[in-house]
Amino acid sequence: MGTLTLDEVSQHKTARSCWVIIRNTVYDVTDFLPDHPGGSRSILRFAGKDATTDFEGIHPPGTLEERLPESAKLGTVDINGGRGTASDENEEEDAKLAAEPEDMLNIADIEDHASRTLSKKAWAYYFSASDDMRTKIHNNTIFNLVLFRPRVFRDITAVDTTARMLGIKTSLPVFVSPAALARLAHPDGEKAIARACGKQGILQMISNNASLRYPDIVSARVSNEQPFAFQLYVQNERARSEKQLRDVVKAGCKAVVLTLDAPTPGKREMDERRAREEARASGHVDDGEALSANSGRGKGTEGGVGRALFQGTAGDLVWDDLNWLRKQLPDDIKIVLKGLQTVEDVVLATQQVDKTTGKALVDAVLLSNHGGRALEGSSPPLLILEELRTYAPDVFQSLEVYIDGGIRRGTDVVKALCLGATQVGIGRPALMSLAGGFGEAGVSRVIQILREEIATAMRLLGAITIDQLGPQYVNTSQLDAILGPSPQAAAAAAIFKAKL
């Protein structure tokens, strides 16, 4: 390999000859263009230029070595420390917006800081949701419909926020939900989240689409006892998922979280619009191509980062596939179903048994609508939780029930716990807390904020342990008015009771 000039590299910017720079190394990716999972245009946008920042934001280390032959590595280039990507234009502005994690008083502050320091690409991916984003908004605002019923003359001098999840002890009834592409916000990405979760004593569910490989993330654990769960999107090529699970088991895993609420990507217009503008600016897409991609018929990332991540995801899963999943895992690894949104499906989850042993297949369910990023108009998880408590309260004795989506305050967590949730997940707050150079300290700050707010809410309610929280502490009349009668839920609950 030799040394190449920027002028030499810039001459190779077409599909006939496409070179890119990553970490000062020049790669010839021409032959790889047709095989790129995200489509050729996502690479051509950086043809003849430096792609380091965008590449590293969404690809784990080792991707180049795995996908490209050694002959594709052409040499090095001196770019004088510049990366030549749009996201680097924010660096000077980031310095002006310097702040410390301790300056963040709540999650709204974290989000505001992220909005001013993240690249446009990262912000569009993290913040976006389906269609008009009403479901995402409703996920949060519905918590306002649950009111507290505080008790007095209680000794609240010592409050204990410890909880349990899948047989492990956690310092809070809070976990980090699967959240993809953390390196769009910080170079340490999911490793920073792992370290913060380990030090703060909560569980991290690692995304199937993490920007670092699962074993690399787990290697950042602060102790050998730190638990992790792995989110699984089953692939059309089952062999790929089976290999993925073998790697996860080898690295260490408490549970596999099978994601069901997004068998196909939702229409995330903010993400798609950003991608179309970027593609058009690069000169590698015309209006017709962009519209085709945005409607789901095109190839590449002009449909947005979110749409590209779903390529290859299986859309044919049925309940019997749980037996396939169980066979891939040792007996001590739990199965969590993420994305259940009706009483009927939760009841069905309790009825799934291993065809060989007769043991229950599902250990927990995570009520979720994918953070409002899948089906616009789907019910907020808190409403699903209340429906479950109303029609099938015995289900809570059969498996653990979690929720995520819309959590912005410790009081939100406490309300969910009062309605029967075992644990509550946060996704976007963990990603956004990495921004502006915060990294691990930002994630720790988010967890600390929730810890303080949960403890304060418990004291003011008159409860000093998580186990004491229950429906006696909340007024759900406004929530129940929205819920209304549900013959389907009632019928499912009747079937569940009959089988007890």
Q: What are the residue numbers of the active site?
A: 233, 261, 370
**Which pair of structure tokens corresponds to residue 267?**
């229409």
CB 451 within 8 A of CB 410: yes
Number of Cβ atoms within 10 Å of the Cβ of 194? 27
Per-residue b or e along 340-374, where b marks 16 or more CB atoms closer than 10 Å to that residue's CB: bbbbbbbbbbbebeeeeeeeebbbbbbbbbbbbbb
Cα gap 380→405, rounded to integer Å: 8
Q: How far apart are CA 323 and CA 25, in angstroms?
A: 46
Determine contact, residues 328/252, Cβ cutoff 8 Å.
no
Residue 301 CA to residue 304 CA, distance in Å, equals 5
Annotate 234-271 with DSSP letters as a single string: -BSSHHHHHHHHHHHHHH--SEEEEE-S-SS----HHH
Measured at the CA of 168, the angle between CA 338 and CA 427, to 5 degrees, comes to 40
Helix (H, G, I), strand (E, B) or coil at 401: strand
Q: Are 91 and 58 in contact (CB under 8 A)?
A: no
